[in-house]
Structure 1
Amino acid sequence: MTPTFPADVTQVGLAVDVAAFAMHAGELRVLLVQRGELPHARDWALPGGLVRGGEELHEAALRVLHTETGVELEPRHLEQFHTFGEVGRDPRGRIVSVAHLAVLPHGTVEVSSGGHTLGAEWLSAHRPPPLAFDHRSILDRALTRLQLRLEYANLALEFLPDTFTLPELQGVHEAILDRPLDKRNFRKRLLAQGILTPSGERRVGVGRPAQLYRRAKSARAAAL
Structure 2
Amino acid sequence: MTRPVGLSDKEYFERVATEAEFLDWYKQQDAPRFEKPSVTADMVVYSFVDGQIKLLLIRRAAHPCQHKLSLVGGFIGRDEDAYQTCQRQIKKEAGLDLPRHHIEQLLTISDPNRDPRGWVMTIAHLVYLPSQALDLVQAGEDGREPIVIDVDFKKAQCSYQGQLLTAEDFAFDHYEIVMTSIKRIQGRMKWNPTFLNLLQTPFTIYAATDLVNLISPDKKILHNNFLSKYGEYVEEAGVERVPKKKPKKTYRLKAKQTGN
For the 8 Å contact 2:40–2:122, the answer to whether it is kept is yes
User: Quick one: distance in 2 between partners of 1:125 and 1:9?
Assistant: 40
Residue aligning to 1:131: 170
Cα displacement string for residues 76-101 of structure 1 (whole angstroms, at most 9, x for unaligned residues): 61121210111310011011001111
For the 8 Å contact 1:24–1:108, the answer to whether it is kept is no
Residue aligning to 1:113: 139
Aligned residue pairs, count: 219
CA shift at 1:60, angstroms? 1.3
Query: What is the TM-score normalised by the length of structure 2?
Result: 0.73
Residue aligning to 2:248: 211
Instruction: Choose from 25, 34, 52 the match for 1:9.
Output: 34
Residue aligning to 1:74: 98
User: Quick one: distance in 1 between partners of 2:56 and 2:97?
Assistant: 14
Cα displacement string for residues 145-171 of structure 1 (whole angstroms, at most 9, x for unaligned residues): 222343223324322232222221111
Does residue 223 of the first structure (1) align with residue 248 of the second (2)? no
User: Quick one: distance in 2 between partners of 1:121 and 1:178?
Assistant: 26
Residue aligning to 1:201: 239
Q: Secondary structure at the match of 2:257?
A: helix
Query: As a proportion of its length, which structure holds more helix?
Result: 2
RMSD: 2.7
For the 8 Å contact 2:40–2:76, the answer to whether it is kept is yes
Identify the structure with bigger relative contact order (alpha carbons < 8 Å, sequence gap 6+). 1
Q: Secondary structure at the match of 1:125?
A: strand
Identity of aligned residues (%): 21
Q: Secondary structure at the match of 1:150?
A: coil
Residue aligning to 1:152: 191
User: Quick one: distance in 2 between partners of 1:201 and 1:70?
Assistant: 30
Of the structure 1 ranges 197-206 and 135-144, higher mean CA displacement relative to structure 2 is found in: 197-206
User: Quick one: distance in 2 between partners of 1:65 and 1:204?
Assistant: 34
Q: Partner amino acid for 1:120?
A: P
CA shift at 1:49, angstroms? 1.8
Which structure is larger by alpha-carbon Rg, 1 or 2? 2
For the 8 Å contact 2:46–2:55, the answer to whether it is kept is yes
For the 8 Å contact 2:96–2:133, the answer to whether it is kept is no
Does residue 44 of the first structure (1) align with residue 79 of the second (2)? no
User: Quick one: distance in 1 between partners of 2:235 and 2:50?
Assistant: 25
Change (3 A) 1:221 1:45: closer
CA shift at 1:7, angstroms? 5.9
Question: Where does structure 1 lack aligned partners over 5 or more consecutive residues?
Answer: none
Change (3 A) 1:19 1:148: same
Q: Secondary structure at the match of 2:108?
A: strand
For the 8 Å contact 1:157–1:215, the answer to whether it is kept is no
Q: Secondary structure at the match of 2:78?
A: coil
For the 8 Å contact 2:209–2:221, the answer to whether it is kept is no
